[in-house]
Structure 1
Amino acid sequence: MLVAAAVCPCPPLLVPEVAAGAAPELDAARAACTDALGVLAAARPGLLVVVGPAEQDGRGAHPQGTPGSFRGFGVDLDVRLGPGAGTAYDRTLPPSLAVAAWLLERAGWAAAPIEGLGVGEPLTPERCFEAGRQVGARVARVGLLVMGDGSACRTLKAPGYLDERAAPFDAEATRALGSADVAALKALDRELAYELKVSGRAPWQVLAGAAEDAELTGTLLYEDAPYGVGYVVAAWS
């Protein structure tokens, strides 16, 4: 059963080496992510499952120790999803899970074994819910680290340009994530999320499926839209 969850954004810019001179702009987001991971660790899960958006080749399960890299962003920096050096892996972490691995390494995570799950944007809500239910049933005490961004259409300079629907969508998603409102997360519109370039919709709905039978309280730790992209950090416990 799900005993705690942390919700974090997944831009590679969270990693200071990638952000370079702009790194201080996300200091508050990094601090909030650390606080959310502290809530996860305090819940003493028997297993931590990290869920994040992924393209076709990054979907599916990623065992503990799976390597990731930020070399594609011009930085000579490698990470692993928990310990596992020396083991052969047939795939690398998608960017969202590489950011998660960096956050976990930065926080010194040692509270539980780790597994990764990459989910694709086209995944229907029903399949997301079912994936979440399966995650929640893995062990008696499951923790979730859920990676994903809100709309990339919040400003004129945003990656997706300005869309007037972006702010209301992000406001409702932020409210749901900050209050552990499972029904509201389930109700997020898949097509609208796609149009607004929301990377977090599928991971958030996996969280909703995992939390169906859990009685958790949410706390909003951070919300902003630097660079025109919605970022949210929340903790459920």
Structure 2
Amino acid sequence: MLIPDVAGEASGEWAELRSACTESIRELGIPVFNIFDKSTTPAVGAADLVVIVGGDSETRSFEPSGEYGSLLANGICWEYGWEGAGEPQPLPLSLTLGYWLMLTSKVKGMIIANVAFEAIAFNASPRECFLLGQELAGRADRVAMLVMGEGSTCMTVTERTRHADRAQRCDAEVTRALAHADSDALARLDPRRLRMTATGRAAWQVLAGAAIGHSFQGRLHTDSTTRNEGYFVASWTRHPDAPRPAPGH
């Protein structure tokens, strides 16, 4: 519903959440080159690598030169992006949305950082998630991560009504961890307890693996107490005195 072409007449109802996503992504430090005035934004502190991480049925990497966003597998006739030189391959739902958000939220111009797409299995163990996060964080000096994870909104309407307290506790726990950039809290998320209430658990623990051992400042752009109940958007930024400062989400 964040995508206006898909939401149709209901698009306006999601403007607040869409704006929060745009605000957070512009804090990633994605370097964009403007061909008209030959300038680069941001001029300093830009990321060398942007990694989009999201949940899927299996853990796998996608070839950046051939990826494109698609909702056909979800029964919606919508595609985004273009086929490059690599083997064309549609991205899963989480990465499709992250890709669309990144390209529509950045300032106008051409991204000049490397971009990677990494799917993590919904049922991946915390150790698998941590190891992937650490590996991703070590790929470049300045790594920005756009992490797509779903909380209790993955539950059916009936389940959310029947288990409202459990859904609220799940969202509140994740919201606190994101707001305070608490990687330890994300690392402690129990896969068994969140299996039916948060499909984003694995993606968040990839973020925890990338962040552990470093100090971040968290900022919440929106959370489950807003009009769009069950959705949260946050930014994590490395403290200036950290050895390799880099924005991360």
The higher radius of gyration belongs to: 2
**1:118-197 to 2 correspondences below 5 Å:** 118-152=119-153, 157=157, 161-163=161-163, 164-196=165-197
Structure 1 moving runs of 4+ over 4 Å = 72-76, 158-161, 225-229
Stretches of structure 1 lacking an aligned partner (at least 5 in a row): 1-12
Equivalent position to 1:44, from 34, 43, 46:
46
1:171-191 alpha-carbon deviations (Å, 9 max, x no partner): 011010111001111111111
What corresponds to 1:92 in structure 2?
Answer: 90
The root-mean-square deviation of aligned C-alpha atoms, in Å, is: 2.4
1:53-74 alpha-carbon deviations (Å, 9 max, x no partner): 1123xx3111324112133455
| Shift in CA distance, 72/22, structure 1 to aligned 2, threshold 3 Å | farther
What corresponds to 1:209 in structure 2?
Answer: 209
* Rounded Cα–Cα distance in structure 2 between residues aligned with 1:127 and 1:105: 29
Is contact 2:63–2:86 with CA below 8 Å preserved after alignment?
Answer: no
Letter in 2 for 1:51: V
Letter in 1 for 2:199: S
Equivalent position to 2:13, from 25, 33, 54:
25
Greater mean alpha carbon deviation, residues 159-168 or residues 115-124:
159-168
* Rounded Cα–Cα distance in structure 2 between residues aligned with 1:172 and 1:119: 21
Is contact 1:132–1:206 with CA below 8 Å preserved after alignment?
Answer: yes
Deviation at 1:214, TM superposition (A): 2.2
Deviation at 1:47, TM superposition (A): 0.1
What corresponds to 1:79 in structure 2?
Answer: 80
* Rounded Cα–Cα distance in structure 1 between residues aligned with 2:61 and 2:154: 30
What corresponds to 2:56 in structure 1?
Answer: 54
The alignment partner of 1:92 has SS state of strand
* Rounded Cα–Cα distance in structure 1 between residues aligned with 2:87 and 2:211: 30
1:102-152 alpha-carbon deviations (Å, 9 max, x no partner): 111212462522110001111011110111010111111111000011113
- TM-score, structure 1 length as denominator? 0.83
Deviation at 1:85, TM superposition (A): 3.7
Deviation at 1:161, TM superposition (A): 4.7
* Rounded Cα–Cα distance in structure 1 between residues aligned with 2:224 and 2:179: 13
What corresponds to 1:233 in structure 2?
Answer: 233
Stretches of structure 2 lacking an aligned partner (at least 5 in a row): 30-41, 238-249
Is contact 1:48–1:144 with CA below 8 Å preserved after alignment?
Answer: yes
* Rounded Cα–Cα distance in structure 1 between residues aligned with 2:17 and 2:159: 19
The alignment partner of 1:224 has SS state of coil
Letter in 2 for 1:187: R
* Rounded Cα–Cα distance in structure 1 between residues aligned with 2:22 and 2:118: 21
| Shift in CA distance, 210/228, structure 1 to aligned 2, threshold 3 Å | same
Deviation at 1:86, TM superposition (A): 3.3
- TM-score, structure 2 length as denominator? 0.79
Q: Does 1:104 align with 2:95?
A: no
Deviation at 1:34, TM superposition (A): 0.7
Greater length-normalized contact order (CA 8 Å, ≥ 6 residues apart): 1
1:150-180 alpha-carbon deviations (Å, 9 max, x no partner): 11377x8356553121101110110101110
What corresponds to 1:7 in structure 2?
Answer: none
The alignment partner of 1:14 has SS state of coil
